[in-house]
Chains A and B, each alone.
Chain A
Amino acid sequence: MSYIKIEAITKSYHDRRSAPRKNSDKSNEIRVLDNINLEFKEGEMVCILGPSGCGKSTLLRMIAGFDSPTSGQVTIHDKAVTGPSDNNIFVFQHSGLLPWMTVWDNVILGVRHLPEEEKNERAQEYIDIVDLSGFEHHYPHQLSGGMLRRAELARAVAVQPEMLIMDEPFSGLDFLTHMKIREELVNMHEFLGQSMLIVTHDIDDALIMGDRIIVLSSRPSQVKLERTLSFDRPRDLSKIPELSELRDELYFMLGVSYAV
């Protein structure tokens, strides 16, 4: 049973700046996504890889309903996506916390319609899960990069959405924080079972977390590789030969941009 279907999606942007000729319409269109077809199952953790600028964020934005495709369509539960919804919470590449609200007020946003007591319990529960207890009344500018990411994660998960859409949730974090948040995500997925769509630049992230790995090619971007990984988590890459092999394959595939 497929939950999300991405059918023949194409996305082009008009680019006025790089317009070579004024009177030909087609020439200043950049095609970012070129006929993408994908299906995600409920509860699946999908990791998307691809070179920088290939359109990963663009693809996520269309699944979230922030943007609509030039052609093709995204359906969730067989209904075409026409706009954002709090069934699918987006975690932004560059923080989406509202800087004028404290951590607490941010986390409460998605559950603000719940009865007072339940609301407070829920917010506190997820703030504790991401280890931000004691920082409820801090403003975003008073937090470190890793804490910001965790606060936004708490806000997203507190909604208990069907799906989390995360655009590079680990970028800009130090190694240990990266590991910790990755572990938290895997745990959350284990306990809550929500679908997760994660864009990452880190091949190991994808191998450790993904039920499925999708690699996009550079612009105009197509699905270059799709692989299902049915290994239990937590995974130890060095002990699973298939994963080490896939790792080499992925490095080779993305090698030009991601040489170690």
Chain B
Amino acid sequence: MVILLWELVTRYSGWSSQVFPSPSAVFSSMLELITNGELLKHTVASLFRVTAGFYLAVVLGIPLGIILGRVKIAKLLFNPLVQFLRPISPLAWIPLAMLWFGIGDVPAIFLIFLSSFFPLVVSTSVAVESIKPTYFQVASNFNFSRMEVLTKIIIPAITPNVIIALRLTITIAWLVVVAAEMIAVQSGLGYMILDSRNALRMDYVMVGMIVIGIIGLLLDMVMQALGNIESTAWGRLAK
């Protein structure tokens, strides 16, 4: 439907195909980019950066969030810093990131890390704080060790909320990677879009946009699938 409308608009709007390429033109450009390997190369580069940055953010952010949610002193010390840094757009870090890490994968990964890290810390600590006190009482009633409190209460209790947070942050990370690639690196879908714009190839730009959209959708579906695993489904189903 949308594609048909798009085709009609491009045919009869009078805009040149340079400015607003038709779907058929975009489709043939996509085939071209797929066969010459360009598209795959850039997609892999982007996915690699997102995976690395996001992974780092998960590995560091969730434990820090648990500590902030559980340990009052840690919260007093670190929460102001986290809250101060959180609203700063990751894009504002671009100059510093380039100064510190030069050009290449590292600054891009750093920016993606920043974009996911703070939201993950905050939502994890909120999730920990909102665990029903009853569950901790059950834990102490059954003489749970600290480790058991972590593995049998805290982690399963926050999992549904953390999965939601992961879903939201991977979307942000995917937004940021494109922006980061327009500045700091010479590969990736963001770079491809910028480069094609400079070459006035709007059909390539659109191919890039479509691929970004599809991958964003896939990432979201993967995260959503996590929420359907039976042992985490209680979060959705319990009243």
Contacts and interface: CB of A to CB of B under 8 A. Distances in A.
Interface stretch (A84-92, A202-210, A247-255): A84-92
Contacts of B141: 64, 66, 84-86, 88-90
Contacts of B156: 98, 100-101
Secondary structure at chain B's binding surface: helix, strand, loop or mixed?
helix
Contact of B143 (A66, A86, A92): A86
Interface in B125-155: 134-135, 137-138, 140-143, 152-153
Interface stretch (B75-83, B98-106, B178-186, B230-238): B230-238
Secondary structure at chain A's binding surface: helix, strand, loop or mixed?
loop
Nearest to B132: A94
Interface of B: 134-135, 137-138, 140-143, 152-153, 156-157, 159, 230-234, 237-239
Interface of A: 64, 66, 83-86, 88-90, 92, 94, 96, 98-101, 109-110, 139-141, 159
A92 B134 contact: yes
A84 B234 contact: no
Nearest to A92: B134
Contact of A100 (B138, B140, B232, B239): B232
A141 B238 contact: yes
B159 A100 contact: yes
Contact of B238 (A66, A99, A109, A110): A99
A13 to B, nearest CB: 15
Contacts of A66: 137, 140-141
A240 B204 CA distance: 91
11 contacts: A66-B140, A66-B141, A89-B141, A89-B142, A90-B137, A96-B138, A98-B152, A99-B234, A100-B231, A139-B234, A139-B237
